[in-house]
Structure 1
Amino acid sequence: MIMDDEVYDAYREAGALARRVLRRGAGLVKEETSLLEMVEATEAMVTEEGGLLAFPLNVSFNEAAAHDTAMPGDERVFARGDLIKVDLGVEIDGYIADTAMTVDLGDHGPLVEASRAALEAAIGLVRPGVVVGELGAAIQAAIEEHGYKPVANLTGHGLDRYNLHGKPTIPNVAMAGGAVLEEGMVFAIEPFATTGSGKVGEATRVEIYRQIAARPARLPSAKRILDTARPRRGLPFSRRWVPGDKVEIGLTTLVRNGILHPFPVLHDVPGSFVSQAEHTLIVTEAGCEVTTR
């Protein structure tokens, strides 16, 4: 799986941009700051620097682990004690970098360190010939050594052109076997550590969707949604990005007709806290290059 120089450069450019913007965006997470303002400012940084968003900026609070972002007119603010996951995806010509960090507005330092340590443990093992189950075992061991649980039903994932969830899948717990890493593979490793059950479920709220089928729509709101989704080439978009009214009716119709796939907010049990750390890697002959570090 040897990539040419042009593709390699695009992955590296996306990674460098994602790294810069994530740090700046995470720096906006402060007590009493508006979630909506933080999300819109961070997303704007990507386009201002010549990139495109691979998915809406994910900002997940406390027990939520993934797939949350600002709603239209969102009135949420960051508060003392919150544990905030900021997950950013950038694409350059369809080649994606995916990276995340956790911002601690409370006293969750050991939990934040658990996911960071797990990420570094897994990165240290990456090289051709390694089985992904070994990465999962390293992640699980590091998190448990810190006294927490890994989130077993969330995984890292391959990053193909315009595809956020390609092969290989990188588990966050030990498993037998799995894909064998090869030179040229590109993927994200993203450990989640939790004080809760170690398994996330789906909330009822959905803010993020992606188009999975190309069929016509009759409702004006559905047509506007597809006008937003179509240029994304299968990459996710936010409800917040769709102009006009009656958007909920259009989304419901398109999901029911199998044209859109919804991504509900994923969360552990109420009252728990989840931390996340994530980098994108390219497997090289001797090991790996972390594009987002």
Structure 2
Amino acid sequence: MSKKNEKESSKPIPSVNNHSNKQKVWPTEQTQPEPTVPIKHLYKDGKFPEGEICELGQYDYKTKRFHPSELKPNTEEREEKLQEQLMEARQAAEVHRTARKWFKDSVVKPGMKVIDAAEMYEAKVRELLEADKKKSGLAFPLGCSINHVAAHYSPNGGDETLIGKDDVIKFDLGTHVNGTIIDSAFTMCWNDQYQPLLDAVKEATNMGVRTAGIDVRLGDVGAAIQEVMESYEVIINGKTHRVKSIQNLCGHSIERYHVHAGKSVPIVASSNNTKMEENEFFAIETFGSTGKGYVIEEGVCSHYGRKFTYNGDGSELKNKESRELLKVINDHFGSIPFCRRYLDRTGQKKYLTALRDLVNNGIVNEYPPFVDVKGCYTAQFEHTIFLRPTCKEVLSRGSDY
């Protein structure tokens, strides 16, 4: 496949910090090694860097239209909204790249508490986005799933779990601007024997990105991912394991304020003939395992989310505390998923009974950890892509993955 990296050149312009009583002129370049300048102040003209632009190639021959007549016509208003949303996505992606580089290079290490690492990472994202409740910020709780836990683990308050030097830990981070979401994940380890597992999953994700495109069937994407994933082996403590795609986890389409929208992108071969379409956002997300390659829900829940289709105020609820908690959720998160620590940040206390009531009434969903067999290792890599009419843009692509 032919690829090229094209970054829109926009010279950073000094900006004024309006969040304090004193006006502050921001630096024209990002501070190093710790980034402290909110991204929008480096691109005052609002033109944020493009992601990786993928043109025609061996695996994505369907992603480019060959004649102008094949392009779906957009009204001027729709085209303007699409461009606005794309620029929001690029801003969220630049925050993701900047925050994760600092986190990987300067923060996370064996021996530190998972909760400390998570809160430093999340705080940096909020700082770089100038997070504002539902307007911009984290698109879901930071996933910090370790070893056989594949997804949906984030530490609750008081969690004393430490990162071990033999751990394989997945960091799944979402950023958003006005509900336009970047969903991207990476895996880290400090023992080289696990590296082939990470390589398998990274390359499987890259194959998914290459295969994805306009009019491509989702089942074909899954087949391509599985073929690459399961061509790898990893030797752990002298035992050889074939890497398996986790068959009941998948990628997904993304819509505004809706991280898991209507389409699922399998990571194994399937008969899913649903096609990807022009102007859609997708999270190409793959998981590999040395275990069964199948996960179940198990463990203490940290992830929650108000149902996307629920627009009520809770007046149907009998419990006053439940109605009050729902108001906090509506005000701070809307349909954006959250975790207990995020409720703690809003000043909520003793809310678990009310939260359980919202779950029992079908207003809030709970998302317990996904786990494979204990003793195995799992890895994850993920990118968000946008299917433009004549190419696809890998929005979350960076120099790291």
TM-score (norm 1): 0.94
Deviation at residue 220 of structure 1 after TM alignment: 5.8
1:269 paired with 2:348, answer no
The equivalent of 1:12 in structure 2 is 90
Deviates more, 1:12-21 or 1:258-267: 12-21
CA–CA separation in structure 2 for the residues paired with 1:34 and 1:218? 39
Query: Residue 21 of structure 1 corresponds to which residue in structure 2?
Result: 99
SS at match of 2:184: strand
Residue identity opposite 1:71 in structure 2: N
Given the superposition, is the C-alpha separation of residues 8 and 30 from structure 1 closer, same or farther in structure 2, using an over 3 Å criterion? same
Q: Residue 236 in 1 paired to residue 337 in 2?
A: yes
> For 1:187, what is the secondary structure of its paired residue?
strand
Partners of 2:341 and 2:265 lie apart in 1 by 30
| Residue 25 of structure 2: aligned partner | none
Q: After alignment, is 151-160 or 230-239 more displaced?
A: 230-239
| Match among 87, 95, 110 for residue 31 of structure 1 | 110
Alpha-carbon distance in structure 2 between the residues aligned to 1:218 and 1:23: 47
Q: For the residues of structure 1 that align with 2:137 and 2:174, how far apart are their CA atoms? A: 9
Residue 226 of structure 1 pairs with residue 326 of structure 2: yes
Q: Distance in 1 between matches of 2:327 and 2:158?
A: 21
Task: Give 1:166's aligned residue.
Answer: 261
Q: Secondary structure of the equivalent of 1:178?
A: coil
Q: Which one has a bigger Cα radius of gyration?
A: 2
| TM-score computed with the length of structure 2 as normaliser | 0.70
User: Are 1:111 and 2:197 matched, yes or no?
Assistant: yes
Deviations 1:233-272 (A, max 9, x none): 2111111122343222122121112221100011101001
CA separation of 1:178 and 1:23: change in aligned 2, threshold 3 A = farther
Report the counterpart of residue 139 of structure 2 in structure 1.
54
Alpha-carbon offset, residue 167 of structure 1? 3.1
Q: 5+ unaligned residues in a row in structure 1: which ranges?
A: none
Larger RCO (alpha carbons 8 Å, 6+ apart): 1
Q: Secondary structure at the match of 1:240?
A: helix
1:70 Cα shift? 1.4
Alpha-carbon displacement from aligned partner over 1:108-167 (angstroms, at most 9, x marks no partner): 100000110001111112221211111101110111100310001011011100001113
Query: Unpaired runs of 5+ in structure 2?
Result: 1-71, 130-135, 233-241
Moved more, 244-253 or 92-101: 244-253
CA contact (8 A) 1:127 1:284 kept: no
Q: Which residue of 2 aligns with 1:156?
A: 251
Report SS of the residue matched to 1:182.
coil
Matched residue SS, 2:261: strand
The percent identity for this pair of structures is: 32
| Residue matched to 2:220 | 134
SS of residue paired to 2:300: strand
Go from structure 1 to structure 2 and tell me whether the alpha carbon gap of 1:197 and 1:161 turns closer, same or farther (over 3 Å shift). Answer: same
Cα RMSD (Å): 1.7
Residue in structure 1 matched with residue 167 of structure 2 by the alignment? 82
Specify whether residues 224 and 78 from structure 1 end up closer, same or farther in structure 2 by C-alpha distance, changes over 3 A only.
Answer: farther
Q: Distance in 2 between matches of 1:287 and 1:194?
A: 32
Cα distance in 2 between the residues matched to 1:145 and 1:44: 38
Contact 2:165-2:189 at 8 Å conserved across structures: no
C-alpha distance in 2 between matches for 1:118 and 1:39: 26
Residue 177 of structure 1 and its aligned partner are, at CA, apart by 3.8
1:154/1:172 contact within 8 Å kept = yes
- For these two proteins, the number of residue pairs brought into alignment is 293
